Each structure stands twice: as C-alpha cells, then as structure tokens.
C-alpha cells in the first residue's frame, strides 16, 4: 500500500525527537507492507480524527484507508489525543 502524509501529520512528525520520528516512520512502513495492515489498527468510534489508529509506543497515528492507500492524518502523544 502507498502511504501519504498530510501537512498536519508531517508537522507533527517534524516536532518529535529524531529517534521517535524514525521509529514511527519505520513502523508505518512495516504496516503498509503487510497484506492486511488493519489487523494492527483499531477502528475509531469518532471519525473526526480518522477511521483508524495505529499505536506506536506512546504515540497514536490516526489515518484513513481508501483504495489501497493509507492517508496519515496526524500523529499525537497518547496523553494529548484522548
């Protein structure tokens, strides 16, 4: 699957420490290469953040899935997203 980052997601990612940035990007890459990346995701009840989220350490990656494309909407620390 192809992965696209919104401007908000890119800004969220740039604001993080380099080691966390690398961990998040590598994990998203891993998920996107799986046959069914949704088995690693949790569907969200409130679709204002997106349809799904990945949990990567203390961070949550909110995304939408559309026609074999993953659109990363934003990345937040778990203390700031719920």
pLDDT (0 to 100) of residue 81 = 78
Per-residue pLDDT reduced to its tens digit, 68-81: 999 999 999 999 87
- Residue 3, both tokens: 């992965």
* Euclidean distance between CA atoms 44 and 19, whole angstroms: 27
71/45 Cα distance (integer angstroms): 18
Domain architecture of the chain: domains with CATH: 2-81 (3.30.2310.20)
Alpha-carbon distance of 56 to 78, in angstroms, equals 10
66's CB contacts (< 8 A; 6+ apart) are none
- Write down the pLDDT at residue 46: 76
What pTM does this model have?
A: 0.91
> For residue 50, what pLDDT is reported?
82
- What stretches in the chain show pLDDT beneath 70? 82
Report pLDDT for 16: 95
């Amino acid at each position: 699957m192809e992965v696209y980052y919104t401007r908000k997601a890119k800004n969220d990612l740039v604001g993080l420490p380099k080691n966390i940035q690398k961990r998040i990007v590598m994990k998203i890459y891993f998920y996107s290469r799986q046959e069914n990346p949704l088995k690693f995701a949790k569907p969200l009840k409130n679709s204002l953040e997106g349809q799904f989220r990945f949990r990567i350490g203390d961070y949550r990656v909110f995304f939408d899935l559309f026609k074999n494309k993953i659109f990363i909407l934003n990345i937040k620390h778990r203390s700031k997203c719920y």
